[in-house]
Structure 1
C-alpha cells in the first residue's frame, strides 16, 4: 500500500517526497474533489494525507471518507504555517505519531 498527499503547499509536497510520498499541489475546491475521487479509485493507495486547509474546503467529502470502512484511510495534516499554540516540530511529530514514519 502506498501513501499519497494532496497539499495546497509546494513545501509540504516536497518534504513528503523526500521520504517517498508522492502527491499533488492543488488550490481549487473542484480540483480537490476530482483528485480525491481519482485516488479513491486506485487500489494501491492505502493512506491519503490532505492538508487541513484543503480538507476544510470539502468537509462533507472528508467526513464521508473517514467514516467509511474503505481505503484509503484519510489523515488531515497541518501545513507549514505554524500555529503559535503548536510546537515547532509539530509536522514531524504529527506524521510520526499518525502513520509511524520517522522523518
Structure 2
C-alpha cells in the first residue's frame, strides 16, 4: 500500500516527495474535494496525508468518511509553520475519555 499527500503548500509536497511519498498540490475547494474523492477510492492507497489547512477545508467529508470506512487511514500533519492547535492532544483526550489531564 502507498501513502499519498494532499497539500496546499509546495514545500510540504516536495519534502514528502523526497521521502518517497507521492502527492498533489491543490488550491481551490473543488480541487481539494475531487482529489480527496479520487484518492479514497484508489485501492492502492493505504494512507492519505492531509495538511491542517486542507483538513479544515473538507473536515465534514473527512469525518464522514472516517465513520463509514476502515481504509485508507486518513491523517493530518502540521503545515510548515508548525502545529496550529497546541492543545490538540489534551483536548482530544478530554473529549474521548472525559477526563482532564
Q: What's the C-alpha RMSD, in Å, of the aligned pairs?
A: 1.7
List, as ranges, runs of 4+ consecutive aligned residues in structure 1 with deviation greater than 4 Å. Answer: 83-86
TM-score, normalised on structure 2? Answer: 0.77
TM-score, normalised on structure 1? Answer: 0.76
Distance in 2, matches of 1:39 and 1:67, equals 17
* Partner residue in 2 for 1:57: 57
* Partner residue in 2 for 1:4: 4
Computing the radius of gyration from Cα coordinates, the structure with the larger value is 2
Structure 1: state its 5+ residue gaps: 87-103
Q: Secondary structure at the match of 1:24?
A: strand
Distance in 2, matches of 1:57 and 1:30, equals 10
Structure 2: state its 5+ residue gaps: 87-101
Kindly report which structure 2 residues correspond to 1:83-98, keeping only aligned pairs within 5 A, or say none. Answer: none
